[in-house]
Amino acid sequence: MITNGAAMRQIQATTRDWYRITNRADTAPEVFIYGEIGWDGITADDLVRDLAAIDADEITVRINSPGGSVFGGIAIYNALRTHPATVNVLVDSMAASIASVIAQAGDTRRMVQHSQMMIHEANGIAIGSGKEIREYAELLDKQSDLIASIFAERSGKPEAIFRALMANETFFSAEEAVETGLADEVMIPARRDPENLMVTDSTTTDSVENEILEHEEAEPIIEEEPPPPKPPTDFSDLFK
């Protein structure tokens, strides 16, 4: 979203930070981007300043954002790309609009299972004469070209593909984001290793053993085979 300076200043005067940074001795610092960037959520100048203060070999960036300010998002993207640390991005739920661009800043880009990504053209609000509106439309087109160039650079695919996908406001599942080159892999959370019965902190070994005993004593249950899963959207034709 792009708007004029007066409107942005009025909006930012009432914002509150929706990002946070945790920095513990036993893990890499984590940056949580959970909110609208530059609107009623995260302000780019504060986040960029805090990123610059991080002195670590690795940074984990976790994203659940509907997007927000194009200029603010590009500033965050560039701050992450130029940071000396290795940046590991994790999309926890949604990386939409300019948040999908921030996700491309990672040296590694992972989509948590069932997370999503959405890309679209830059959009905004303008008031003025016909000449001013036409100039504003040209500005939006330039921002869309810039965003598509980032997607192309990080995916290794032609920019024109992403301009077409952006024009259609395309939503990707985690698997589709990987297929399109906007992420490296899908992270599937594993709460228990069935081979050696590894458990999470919230589960005890005794509870696992009791569950196994109860399962062995129970009557066998015959279940019908589930229907085959719906095949993912095929983007392969776009990449020929």
What SS3 string covers 197-232?
A: CECCCCCCHHHHHHHHHHHHHCCCCCCCCCCCCCCC
Residue 74 to residue 69: CA distance in whole angstroms: 9
Residue 143 to residue 147: CA distance in whole angstroms: 6
Point out the catalytic residue in the list 97, 100, 144, 155: 97
3-state secondary structure at position 20: strand
Q: Is 120 a catalytic residue?
A: yes
Residue 206 to residue 203: CA distance in whole angstroms: 8
Cβ atoms within 10 Å of 105's Cβ, excluding its own: 21
Point out the catalytic residue in the list 69, 100, 115, 120: 120
Handedness of CA 127, 35, 101, 113 (dihedral sign): negative
- Residues serving a catalytic function are 97, 120
